[in-house]
Homo-oligomer: A and B are copies of this chain.
Amino acid sequence: MIKPRTLSGFMELLPEDQILFNRIKETIKQEYEKSGFVPLDTPILELSEIMLAKAGGETEKQIYELEKGDNKLCLRFDLTVPLAKYVAEHQSELSFPFKRYQIGKVYRGERAQKGRFREFYQCDIDIVGNGQLSLINDAEVPSVIYNIFKKLNIGEFCISVSNRKLLLGLFEELNLKDVSMEILRVVDKFDKIGEEEFVKVLTDDYKLSKNVVEKILNFIKISGTKTEQIEKLKGLNIKNVQFLTGIDELETVLNFMGDFGIPDQNYKIDLKIARGLDYYTGTVYETFVKGAEYLGSVSSGGRYDDLAKFYTNNNYPGVGMSIGLTRLFYQLRENKIIKPTIKTLAKVVVLTIGDTWKYSLNLLNKLKQLNVNCEIYPEDVKFKNKLQYVLNQEIPFAIIVGEDEVKNNEFVLKDLNKKEQYTLKTEKVEEILNYIK
């Protein structure tokens, strides 16, 4: 006998939670499709050579690798690298801008801890251009994410936006170009480590002068309305070209976000948003739920100027965002922001009394033809045990068929919530729709 168990860091749900999980996944899928994103489903296994073309450091350590035959393979750790490979591989067969969504499992062998998963769903949208990609796309992507969180009804949320060119331009202006990626990552951690530690790291570890640190702090703390923030950015009088492009792009994207229908209170500028990954080159996003900041960013992403550069010389700029569904679901569920409402998908269960199987199965077919989610209790047990199953499963309606019902060509419909029952004629079975809607 082997003790049955599931790997730690791998989510496995009971039916009621799985139903809830799938509903959220379905909402995300529907919104992606409504905005014209086409589905993509790439393999979970890829050649390591392809998958790790640009990885290194932390990422590489977390990879699940294996060998099969002569091939070194690995499990995908995100959906962006497979997209890059796909675009390069099929570039002549795709229409651009190429808008795809992918919802699938990815694998990272992180240290196991509560709320961290080694197998988890990512739900990605990306828009990829052929040689060019307008800033409209940088606004469309968060507008789709806005529609999803609005529909999921998980509370007030706000999409924070910045543009990497601002920080990178500022660092150029401050003669920090050589360490700009490192300092970018320190800025990215500002909210986590706090101002004191932030200043300490920059002065002690990176030997920045008090004056330089001050300038960085002044920049990331710029506040006010979005319009005020843009004015203050312009007022800094920084002449660096990259910085000025950053202001232009940010302003344009914010305007389009409004045009895409995102309400003013659902998006803002946060100049501390930098994102850890090095491939972002412009707009960057994070999304926070108010009063539930412990969730972390529930959807992040950004613009990258050359998606497929490891696989092709052609230029494919892209912009995308991702929802980390497994972690999000876990946190929402743990914190009771969501909870299961049904334990099974059946709306009606047919219960037989005596040998009324033939009649009951015919009735069941008719219900299925009416597109009613239904089942029959199939075991020969005492009636009270059958009823107990219905109550345990919280199925809202039961149909009861005894020998009298067969004789009269009818059936009894029991509404378990209202505790009422009705007798319906089997030849008019469609009338059930008036009761169970």
Show the binding face of A for B, using Cβ within 8 Å. Answer: 1-7, 10-15, 18-19, 21-22, 33-47, 49-50, 53, 64-66, 68-69, 71, 73, 75, 84-86, 88-90, 93-95, 97, 99-100, 105, 107, 109, 119, 127, 129, 132-134, 136-137, 140, 147, 256, 259-261, 308, 310-313, 343-346, 349, 357-358, 361-362, 364-365, 368, 371-376, 378-380, 389, 392-393
Residue pair A2, B50 in contact (C-beta under 8 Å): yes
Residue pair B137, A374 in contact (C-beta under 8 Å): no
Given A15-B40, A140-B378, 16 more contacts at CB 8 Å? A2-B50, A4-B312, A6-B43, A12-B41, A12-B43, A36-B375, A43-B119, A45-B64, A45-B119, A95-B344, A95-B393, A97-B379, A133-B378, A133-B379, A136-B361, A259-B361
Contacts of A357 in B (CB 8 A): 136, 256, 259
Q: Which residue on B lies nearest to A12, using beta carbons?
A: B42
Contacts of A374 in B (CB 8 A): 34-36
Contacts of A49 in B (CB 8 A): 2
Residue pair B5, A134 in contact (C-beta under 8 Å): no
- Of B15, B45, B66, B147, which one neighbours A368 at CB under 8 angstroms? B147
Q: Which residue on B lies nearest to A11, using beta carbons?
A: B43
Nearest Cβ in chain B — how far from A433, in angstroms? 15
Nearest Cβ in chain B — how far from A180, in angstroms? 26
Nearest Cβ in chain B — how far from A171, in angstroms? 30
Contacts of A65 in B (CB 8 A): 66
Q: Which residue on B lies nearest to A88, using beta carbons?
A: B4
Nearest Cβ in chain B — how far from A92, in angstroms? 11
Residue pair B4, A259 in contact (C-beta under 8 Å): no
Nearest Cβ in chain B — how far from A51, in angstroms? 10
Given A45-B10, A379-B133: A1 touches B38 (CB 8 Å cut-off): no
Contacts of A372 in B (CB 8 A): 34
Offer 10 A-B interface pairs, CB within 8 angstroms, sorted by A.
A1-B311, A1-B312, A2-B49, A4-B88, A5-B85, A22-B39, A34-B371, A69-B109, A127-B378, A132-B379
Q: Which residue on B lies nearest to A25, using beta carbons?
A: B41
Contacts of A371 in B (CB 8 A): 34
Contacts of A33 in B (CB 8 A): 345, 373
Tell me how many chains of this kind the complex includes. 2
Q: Bound state CA distance, A129 and B12, in angstroms?
A: 21
Residue pair B50, A95 in contact (C-beta under 8 Å): no
Residue pair B68, A136 in contact (C-beta under 8 Å): no
Q: Which residue on B lies nearest to A257, using beta carbons?
A: B361
Nearest Cβ in chain B — how far from A65, in angstroms? 7
Q: Bound state CA distance, A35 and B350, in angstroms?
A: 12
Most chain B CB within 10 A, of A4, A7, A50, is at A4
Nearest Cβ in chain B — how far from A375, in angstroms? 3
Q: Bound state CA distance, A34 and B345, in angstroms?
A: 8
Q: Bound state CA distance, A140 and B365, in angstroms?
A: 11
Residue pair A2, B310 in contact (C-beta under 8 Å): yes
Contacts of A13 in B (CB 8 A): 41
- Of B19, B71, B259, B311, which one neighbours A3 at CB under 8 angstroms? B311
Given A15-B100, A310-B2: A119 touches B44 (CB 8 Å cut-off): yes
Contacts of A392 in B (CB 8 A): 95
- Of B6, B46, B109, B373, which one neighbours A7 at CB under 8 angstroms? B46
Q: Bound state CA distance, A97 and B380, in angstroms?
A: 12
- Of B46, B97, B344, which one neighbours A36 at CB under 8 angstroms? B344
Residue pair A310, B378 in contact (C-beta under 8 Å): no
Q: Bound state CA distance, A11 and B65, in angstroms?
A: 20
- Of B14, B107, B260, B361, which one neighbours A365 at CB under 8 angstroms? B260
Residue pair A19, B39 in contact (C-beta under 8 Å): yes
Nearest Cβ in chain B — how far from A421, in angstroms? 21
Most chain B CB within 10 A, of A13, A136, A365, is at A136
